[in-house]
Structures are given as structure tokens and as C-alpha cells.
Amino acid sequence: MRPVLIAFILSLSMLRAWAVDSAPAFEDPALQARYEALTHQLRCLVCQNETIADSGATLAADLRRELREQLAAGKSDQDVLKFMTDRYGDFVLYKPPFEKRTVLLWLGPGLLLLIGIGIAIRIIVQRAKLAQTATDDNEEGEAA
Amino acid sequence: MWRFLIPGVVFAVLVGFFVIGLQRDPSNVPSPLLGKPAPAFALNKVEVPTMQVSSGDYAGRKHLVNVWATWCVECRREHEMLLSIARENVVPIVGLDWKDDLSSAQQWLKQLGDPYVATAFDVEGRVAIDFGVYGAPETFLVDEHGTIICKHTGALNNDIWRRVLKPVILNQAPDKSLMGVNTTCAS
């Protein structure tokens, strides 16, 4: 059983080998790191729940080519992201910018957490009070 | 008593969100290009590959830019509509043949008819990226100043043509009730 399990886990590590680009885009590791970071930030608009790093769609391949060329030409990350949002809008970014339209998106979870904590505290305090009155009653009972 | 209403209210709000959210089409992404200058291009012409089509050829007049490809099923469905728009002689249609095979594209135009004044052959998909294209067919209406004033994603149909694009071209009021789904125009 154990060898099978180990073999299975090892085979999972091969999944990385199925990444879309077969060869690294750049020889310079710093450029390659920026390239990889950017491909993971951009959405493939054909298959909307994939980044262009993961997607096999031709549009994703075209956008990766665009990215490679712009990085090779010395463009900054901001330049590249601006190029993409100028054409495809904020939706192309996996991490939407913080602005009026997206306030609820960014702050909603925190707000819900605060509401939850508030409710929890109220319930705990009430329970504690109930328990307190119950023991008070008992003590009074015993005293009588 | 009111505390028993809370779950009901929360549920109603959630249902409200889902009713609105689930009816939206996630494939419909608002284009940031509306109201912006149409991208410039110069590409080989599908009909005569030794000649070029450029964005300047139609500067100064309203024109449609229609993104299509022979691998695109919806484009075949749309083609009849494009032919009938071309027959009306109201607006020139410039084709953008996106990541296609040249001989298939030429054959397509020969067999199905050619509604385009010219078709640009974008084999590398670079001009399509400049137009923010993420699917075919997509159609852009460009005005006299070279500004993109309307965009339609998906196949054009008679309603969109007659009640939105054509009125906009003729400086009449378009039917606003048809806008917002796949058709958007700069206000």
C-alpha cells in the first residue's frame, strides 16, 4: 500500500511539467520571475476562471507573447498591466483595483466577520448572564 | 419577536443577489475602448494579400469593424446578416479576419459572399488584442473622428442592426432597451 501511495504522490509532482509553456520564456531569472508573476495576475478572457499562465486558449498564448515581448523591451510591470487594462478593462486583472465600485468586494468579508464577531460576543455575554442568574438563584435557594 | 425575522430577511437579500447575479452573462465584459480612439492598423488584405488594408482607409466616415474567422461557428450564422447590411449601403464593413488560415478565409468569402469593403488578415492576433477582442464575432462601430462608439459581442441580428446600430449611424436615437446585454454604446 505504502509504495503505491508514494508513487501516486510523486506522480502529482509531475503535474508541473504540464504547464503551458514548454520552455522558460527568459534566460534571465529575474525577468522570468516577473513574467511568471504577471501571467498569474492576468485573466484569460476566453476561459474566465483561468489565468493566462494556466490557459491553453490561443488568446492566452497571444497575451503571453505580448507579455514576453514587452518585458524583453524593458517595459515595467505597471506598463504591461496598463496595456492590458486599456484593452480588456479591470476584469483582466485577477486582483481588482480598490475603488468606489469595488468597496463592497474588498471590505465585505471583513464587514461580515465583524458582524459575526459582534453577534457571537452578544450571545456569549447573554449566556454568561443567564448562567450567572441561574447560579445566583441556586445560591439564594441554598441560603434560604 | 423581530429576531425571528432576521434569517428570513437575510435569506430574501441573498435570493435578491442571486436573482440579479445569475441572470447576468459572465462572458459579457464591458469594453474600456468605448469612447476611445479605434486602434490603428495596417495588415494584408485577405481578398488580395499583396495589398494592404489600414485603419486610415476609412478615416473620416463611420464604419463597422467586424471580427470574424473561419473557425468561428457563430460567424457563419452571422454572415447572412452582414451581407444584408452591406446590401443596404448605409455603412462600409471592414473585416478583421482573426487568427485564421488565408486560403480558408478566401474560400469562405468566395462561397458565402463578401460583405466587406476590405478584410484585414490578422494572423498573429495583434490587432485583435489592440481592439480588446476576446471572442468572435465582435463588431465595433467607429465614427467620423475614429472613435469607437458602439460595440456588439456575438452575432449581429436584425434587431440590433435596425434598432441600435443603424439609428446611431444615421444620427437617430437608438432603442436603449436593447443595450447593455451584448450591445454597448458610448453615451
- Rounded to a whole number of angstroms, the distance from the CA of B30 to the nearest CA of chain A is 7
- Rounded to a whole number of angstroms, the distance from the CA of B89 to the nearest CA of chain A is 30
Q: What is the model's pLDDT at position A17?
A: 46
Q: What is the model's pLDDT at position A13?
A: 61
Closest residue to A45, CB basis, from B126, B130, B134: B134
B30 touches chain A (CB under 8 A): yes
- Contact list in A for residue B13 (CB cut-off 8 A) is none
Of the pLDDT bands very low, low, confident and very high (cuts 50, 70, 90), residue B34 is: very high
Cβ pair A62:B129 closer than 8 A: yes
- Contact list in B for residue A63 (CB cut-off 8 A) is 129
pLDDT tens, residue by residue, A16-58? 544 556 677 788 889 999 999 999 999 988 877 889 988 888 8
What's the DSSP call for residue A50? S
- Nearest Cα residue in chain A from B123: A62
Question: Rounded CA gap, A87 and A82, in Å?
Answer: 9
Q: Around Cβ B106, how many Cβ atoms within 10 Å?
A: 20
- For A74, A84, B31, B52, B126, the CA distances from A80, given in Å and listed in that order, are 10, 6, 18, 29, 15
Of the pLDDT bands very low, low, confident and very high (cuts 50, 70, 90), residue A66 is: very high
The percentage of chain A sitting over the pLDDT mark of 70, rounded to a whole number, equals 84
Cβ pair A62:B132 closer than 8 A: no
Say which residue, A113 or A56, is predicted with more confidence: A113
Of the pLDDT bands very low, low, confident and very high (cuts 50, 70, 90), residue A12 is: low
- Rounded to a whole number of angstroms, the distance from the CA of A13 to the nearest CA of chain B is 32
B25 touches chain A (CB under 8 A): no
The percentage of chain B sitting over the pLDDT mark of 90, rounded to a whole number, equals 79
Cβ-Cβ contacts under 8 Å between A and B: the total is 39
Three cell numbers written together for B48: 488580395
B40 touches chain A (CB under 8 A): no
Q: What is the mean pLDDT of chain B?
A: 93
- Rounded to a whole number of angstroms, the distance from the CA of B180 to the nearest CA of chain A is 16
Q: What is the mean pLDDT of chain A?
A: 84
Question: Rounded CA gap, B133 and B32, in Å?
Answer: 11
Q: What is the model's pLDDT at position A75?
A: 94
Q: What is the model's pLDDT at position A22?
A: 62
Closest residue to B32, CB basis, from A48, A59, A85: A85
Instruction: Report the residue of A87, A93, A115 to disrupt the B interface, i.e. the one with the largest count of B CBs within 10 Å.
Output: A87
Closest residue to A48, CB basis, from B26, B31, B131: B26
DSSP B38-77: PPP-EEEBSSSTTSEEEGGGGTTS-EEEEEE-TT-HHHHH
Question: Rounded CA gap, A91 and B29, in Å?
Answer: 7
Cβ pair A48:B27 closer than 8 A: yes
Q: Which of A1-5, A131-135, B42-46, B150-154 has the lowest mean pLDDT?
A: A1-5
Question: Rounded CA gap, B137 and B97, in Å?
Answer: 10
pLDDT tens, residue by residue, B81-140? 999 999 999 999 999 999 999 999 999 999 999 999 999 999 999 999 999 998 899 999
Question: Rounded CA gap, B55 and B57, in Å?
Answer: 5
Q: What is the model's pLDDT at position A42?
A: 93
For the cut 80, the answer to whether the pLDDT of residue A135 exceeds it is no
What average pLDDT does range A93-98 have in this prediction?
85
What average pLDDT does range A51-68 have in this prediction?
91
pLDDT tens, residue by residue, B36-53? 999 999 999 999 999 999
Say which residue, B186 or B155, is predicted with more confidence: B155
A51 touches chain B (CB under 8 A): no
B-facing residues of A in 23-42 (CB < 8 A) are none
Cβ pair B129:A66 closer than 8 A: yes
A-facing residues of B in 135-154 (CB < 8 A) are 135
Say which residue, A141 or A44, is predicted with more confidence: A44
